[in-house]
Amino acid sequence: MPRLRFPQRIAPGQEATPTNRAGPRDVMKIALISDTHLAAMATDFVSNAVAAIDWINSDDFDLVIHLGDVTADGIAAPGQVEEAKTVLDRLDVPLLCVPGNHDIGDNPVPGRALGEKPFDAAALCLFRTAFGADHWLYSAGDWALIGLNAQLFNTGSAEETRQFDWLCSALAAVDGPIGLFLHKPWLRVALSDQERHPRYVPLEQRLALAEVLAGHDLRFVASGHTHQLRRLTVDGVEHFWVPSTAFVIPDRMQEWIGEKIVGAAVLTLDGDDYRLDFQRVPGVAHRDLGDYRAIFPKLGAILGE
């Protein structure tokens, strides 16, 4: 039976809407990648990303979703956005993206990493120009796939309000199962987690999302950011952390929560069922962030060196 085929990448700055439908077939195969950290100077990360792209292009994928931190540090070095786009343009498969903290800056939350830049509207504009909409809804068969810009949460910006209003409006047209895509994990253990950590969606926005999604058939939340693989189910919703293609974060910088591994994931939609699987990708080498001080100069200060 023929597989679903998607139209071209969403135009820069355009939101995908429920009218962007994939077609009548029920089976769909999606590659999930995250935290590629691309820049011309980051040759090892580019090599890993190219290996992942080759794997995607050689298989029968219908779509690629990038879960953010496309660039090594585009918020500090805007030229990396175009450098990253040059790499991702190798894809033969349509691409949807959500931005990460290294792309457009981070949420204003306690504990933000040393030197981490806050959300920047100009960086968001640059991201949209290169990679298209930063939040979107894509309908495929019975499914609504929703990508949100988690870096807007808690900014109090007009962009945050606009995204939330858009989400409420979009959900009004959804009556089937939902998959949600964010850069940051929605939670660690439960919606009521009190820990305020830049690793997760801020508490107030986490609860607001839960409220607006109440009554809808949310099946899973896929996220990146942590550079770890993890799968857990909370209140009937699966939370799946997609690891980085670029590197793991050393133990002296980050605790183990899931599994520190590099790779990608495959999402399969079949009717109203789904499956999420981790994928070891041929040619994607295991690398450690601590070895790349030239790319991330603030590492020394973070490590107290």
Domain presence at residue 179:
yes
Write out pLDDT tens, residues 253-273.
999 999 999 999 999 999 999
| Domain carrying residue 291 | 27-302
Q: What is the number of structural domains in the chain?
A: 1
Residue pLDDT tens, the chain, 305 long: 233 334 334 443 344 543 344 444 568 999 999 999 999 999 999 999 999 999 999 999 999 999 999 999 999 999 999 999 999 999 999 999 999 999 999 998 765 555 679 999 999 999 999 999 999 999 988 999 999 999 999 999 999 999 999 999 999 999 999 999 999 999 999 888 877 788 999 999 999 999 999 999 999 999 999 999 999 999 999 999 999 999 999 999 999 999 999 999 999 999 999 999 999 999 999 999 999 999 998 887 776 65
Domain presence at residue 13:
no
Q: CA torsion sign, 194 to 197 to 203 to 209?
A: negative
**What is the CA angle 17-157-221, rounded to 5?**
50
Domain presence at residue 261:
yes
Domain presence at residue 47:
yes
Write out pLDDT tens, residues 144-166.
999 999 999 999 999 999 999 99
Domain presence at residue 12:
no
Dihedral Cα 101, 105, 107, 113, nearest 10 deg: 70
Q: Can you tell me the distance from the alpha carbon of 293 to that of 112, in angstroms, rounded to the nearest whole number?
A: 19
Domain presence at residue 239:
yes
Domain presence at residue 5:
no
Give the CATH number for residue 273: 3.60.21.10
Q: Whole-prediction pTM value?
A: 0.92
Domain presence at residue 19:
no
